[in-house]
Structure 1
Amino acid sequence: MSVTINAHQLGRLIARTSDHISDDDRTPALHGIRLEADTEYLYAAATDRYTLAAARYRHHSPDNQHNDAEAVVPFARTLPTAALPALREWISAAPGHDPVTVTPTGDRLRFTTANGEINISVNPDAEFVDWRGLLRGVIEQTPDTGSPVPVFPAFDTRLQARWQSADTVVRFRVTGDQQALLVAGEDFLGAQMPCRACHDSDTLTTLDDVCATWDGVLSASPAVTSRAALPVPARSRLEAPSTVGETTEELLRQTLRSTAHMIEADSELFAAHAIAGVTAWAAYRYLDALHTADPHLAAAVVAETAGQLDDGAIGEWAWDAAVAAGYNPQKWMAGLEEALAPQLAPGDRQADEGFKACLKQRAEQN
């Protein structure tokens, strides 16, 4: 069976799990990323015994019709760590939207796009840990209500840094001092084992120990639980929104504002309000679709776009993008100049000449 996902998502599956690969090459089952496919998802899983991460993405399979008698997992192969740099480089060279077909063929795992392919040597009989069973066990953990002291587990902060690639936002659940930490994100599950023994110098083994150590300092202020106690700088009216939530709000506000003003506007402003409203609505729909398909990519695009908008040179960004896409922006602007020339006042004509000079210089640079 083969499955197809886009290059960006394949790269993200690897990125979300690669931090959890064991560096002990004496255990091949843990020294790589497990790729598994069923009739709905392509999964990637990795573990080093201390942390376990599993990510999934809904694939597009040409042969996804299976009866109940068939295996739940049509294929499962472990990508060895040594092969991952070449695979990452191959994926990054492809446009993110390019479909990649993943096909197991004997002792190879073949990755194919319209422009090429890469074959990774794998052991089709290599075993991997039962990551499904391990994660199910962590999810089904019950709170440790029999303990005489509140739950206060210890976790290695060096291992916690591995979750930064899991998702933009993840949820954590702790049920006991010696039970695994559950990590959950969008199409992502993970677990981290607690420290079984604290350092000899660690005296803060209970919450009471922490309270006793810090009581003399913290008692100088009353307890504050509201976020209002933390100052939040107000965003400038001219500053571009840098998060998906802020951008979504701004686009919807602009759509409503423009369409409302369009009704009462005169003929000259009607077109401007109409274009602004339509553009804002289209941008909202595109962003909403991108966020649904890939929240991580949507957040990255919004942040990058905010930087470009705040930079102020969006005309140059647009010119470069048009050239890169194979268009002729100089022809576009020449047509616009010709259409507007009869309407320009003398003062506008002088400003327009300066704009033409900029266009000419830009064209010569390209």
Structure 2
Amino acid sequence: MPVAINAHQLGRMLSRTVGHMGSEFVEPLHGIRLEADGTHLYAIACDQYTIAVARYRHHGLDGEPFARTIPAKALRSLREWTDAQHGSDTVTLTTAEGRLRLSAPHGELAIAVTDGQKFFDWRGMLHGVLLQDTDGSAPFPVLDTRFLSRFADADDKVRVRTADGRATLIVGEDFLGAQTPLRSRSEGFGVHLAEDVEQVIADWTPTLTGANPVAMPAGIPAERRPHYEVTQDPAETARILLRQTLRSSHDLFEEDRDSPAAVASHASAGVMAWSAYRFLDALHIADPKLAAEVVSAVAGELESGEIGEFAWDAASAAGHDPEKWREEDEARWARQRAAAPGKRATAGGRQQAAPPAGEADGS
């Protein structure tokens, strides 16, 4: 100790695991376990039916590894304290007798913990699930959806591996989880569920008879949208930004150097596209769900056609003077027109000859 972690990442680790916390009747599981080794800080929670482990590559462990369970009654205070910090602030965790201390530039928090509290071997358990052999086992487990829903905060997408009668493995980015299957008839509910694939085939064949069997698509087909609609998918947005960066870089070197306005336009487009990609990529690494929400919100703003008004309001809210910017741009455009009286600027930044009188309005 101590171990250092980004405040936003600490809050995210808590969010990804808190739904798996055990009940108050099983004290060792009624909380979130924090453990640190030489590489990662881990948050572990288990309710005997599911287990969730989130990890973060910390900034450095100064001392010996540690393990403490944060009791459930302290989690609300911890989350409120974490949310009050700036997301990029470094939080330092240290242990003292009966205490876990968190320090950040904008405050400190001490949580009462039980030193030496026993905890189950979560590493060994998940290692067994990770290596279990699914050969010879029909992948038809019975899963309680009430427990399955607890993995909603694990990641925006997860991979799943199942085996009949064995735990289902759930994998996200820096996240590992498992859910135990139910034995429906012996557990008193879900008795209506089919016991095996053969029974499902027998039950559904009368309904599906007459349909020609077809192969399932490899993935959900991409939605076909009009070209003017803005995507709400972060991955597609990243692809568009990267392609725009490459296109602008290519056009920059292909452009006629006698047209400095066009060269500047391509350079600006490339710089903005690359900057937006890097910001989106960093946000997706920090919080995939927030990245998806931002991309969706931006798509709506772009489709509204009012981004000029949004930018004006945002500039004013940030303490800038957009009216002064407009006046400076008007002055710059006036100088450009004076320097080239026979030219006019187009929206793309290129210069073209001014049309004869009457042509501009289509007359």
1:69-103 per-position Cα deviation (integer Å, ceiling 9, x unaligned): xx6xx111111111111221222222221221122
Residue among 205, 211, 223 paired with 2:201: 211
1:159-189 per-position Cα deviation (integer Å, ceiling 9, x unaligned): 11111111111111113x2211111111111
Conserved 8 A contact 1:42-1:58: yes
Evaluate the alpha carbon distance shift between residue 94 and residue 325 of structure 1 in structure 2; reply closer, same or farther with a 3 A threshold.
farther
> Which residue of 1 is the match for residue 357 of structure 2?
none
- 1:342 Cα shift? 4.1
Evaluate the alpha carbon distance shift between residue 329 and residue 21 of structure 1 in structure 2; reply closer, same or farther with a 3 A threshold.
same
Conserved 8 A contact 1:203-1:209: no
**Alignment map for 1:143-154 (pairs within 5 Å):** 143=134, 145=136, 150-154=138-142
- 1:4 Cα shift? 1.4
Q: Which amino acid aligns with 1:197?
A: S
Distance 1:151 1:58 in 2: 34
Structure 2: runs of 5 or more not aligned: 339-343, 345-363
Q: Which amino acid aligns with 2:13?
A: L
**1:279 aligns to 2:266 (yes or no):** no
RMSD: 2.6
Evaluate the alpha carbon distance shift between residue 228 and residue 107 of structure 1 in structure 2; reply closer, same or farther with a 3 A threshold.
closer
**Alignment map for 1:1-366 (pairs within 5 Å):** 1-22=1-22, 24-61=23-60, 63=62, 74-143=65-134, 145=136, 150-175=138-163, 177-198=164-185, 199=189, 201-202=191-192, 204-227=194-217, 233-262=223-252, 263-265=254-256, 266-292=259-285, 294-343=287-336
Distance 1:231 1:255 in 2: 26
Distance 1:38 1:323 in 2: 47
TM-score by length of 2: 0.83
Conserved 8 A contact 2:158-2:170: yes
Structure 1: runs of 5 or more not aligned: 349-366
Give the secondary structure class of the aligned counterpart of 1:227: coil
Distance 2:212 2:218 in 1: 14
Evaluate the alpha carbon distance shift between residue 134 and residue 200 of structure 1 in structure 2; reply closer, same or farther with a 3 A threshold.
closer
Conserved 8 A contact 1:144-1:151: no
Evaluate the alpha carbon distance shift between residue 236 and residue 344 of structure 1 in structure 2; reply closer, same or farther with a 3 A threshold.
farther
Conserved 8 A contact 2:37-2:61: no
Distance 1:130 1:293 in 2: 29
Distance 1:231 1:142 in 2: 32
- 1:207 Cα shift? 0.5
Evaluate the alpha carbon distance shift between residue 230 and residue 247 of structure 1 in structure 2; reply closer, same or farther with a 3 A threshold.
closer
Distance 1:88 1:322 in 2: 32
1:312-365 per-position Cα deviation (integer Å, ceiling 9, x unaligned): 3333443444455454444333322332234569xx9xxxxxxxxxxxxxxxxx
Distance 2:39 2:221 in 1: 46
1:53-81 per-position Cα deviation (integer Å, ceiling 9, x unaligned): 10100111262xx6xxxx6xx11111111
Distance 2:336 2:108 in 1: 56
Distance 2:330 2:206 in 1: 73
Distance 2:218 2:288 in 1: 28
Q: Which amino acid aligns with 1:192?
A: Q
Distance 2:34 2:311 in 1: 39
TM-score by length of 1: 0.82
Evaluate the alpha carbon distance shift between residue 296 and residue 257 of structure 1 in structure 2; reply closer, same or farther with a 3 A threshold.
same
Conserved 8 A contact 2:38-2:61: no
- 1:296 Cα shift? 4.3
Count residues in correspondence: 334
Evaluate the alpha carbon distance shift between residue 210 and residue 164 of structure 1 in structure 2; reply closer, same or farther with a 3 A threshold.
same
